[in-house]
Amino acid sequence: MMERKELETQVINMVATSYKQDAAKLSMETLFKEDLGGASVQMVALVAEIENELDVELMLADASGCASIGDLVNLVEGEL
């Protein structure tokens, strides 16, 4: 089972890639809409990346419903 911290780091790196952000500036508290201003197309790319790398399947609607990166990590953790 992957450690929580390790999962957080992985998800942050994937968020950084999908949203073209500096990973160092992202945290569990970073908000998708308010801080990253991303459209659904970035969230879809992020979910695809998570599915490719972490071998889980997420409901896209659930992922889109995550307010913060922390929420998304919780969602992924629940599926692992």
Partner 1 sequence: MNVLDEIYQKAKENPQKVAFPEAMNEKMMQAAYETGQEGYIIPVLVGDGAEIKKAAKERGYEEKVFQIVDISEESYKKTLVEKYVALPQTILKEKALNRRMQNPLYYAMVMQAVGEADVTFAGIDNTTGDVLLAGQMIIGLKEGISTVSSIGLCDIPGFQGSEGSLLAIGDSAVCTNPDAKQLADIAISACDTVKELMDWEPRCAMVSYSTLGSGQGELIDKVVKAVELAKEQRPDLAIDGEFQFDAAISPSVAEKKVNRESKVAGKANIVIWPDLNVGNVGVKLIQQFGHADAYGPMLQGFQKVVCDCSRGAPVSEIKGNIVISAVRAAGSR
Chain residues binding partner 1 by CB under 8 A are 39-41, 44-45, 47-49, 51-52, 55, 57, 60-61, 64
Closest to partner 1 by CB, 7 or 48: 48
Rounded distance between C-alpha atoms, residue 72 and residue 15, angstroms: 10
Query: Cβ closer to partner 1: 12 or 14?
Result: 14
Q: Closer to partner 1 at the Cβ: 35 or 49?
A: 49
Rounded to the nearest whole angstrom, what is the least distance from the CB of residue 59 to partner 1 in the complex?
A: 9
Say if CB 75 and CB 58 are below 8 A apart. Answer: yes
Q: What span, in angstroms and rounded, lies between the C-alpha atoms of 25 and 58?
A: 25
Specify the DSSP class assigned to residue 28: T
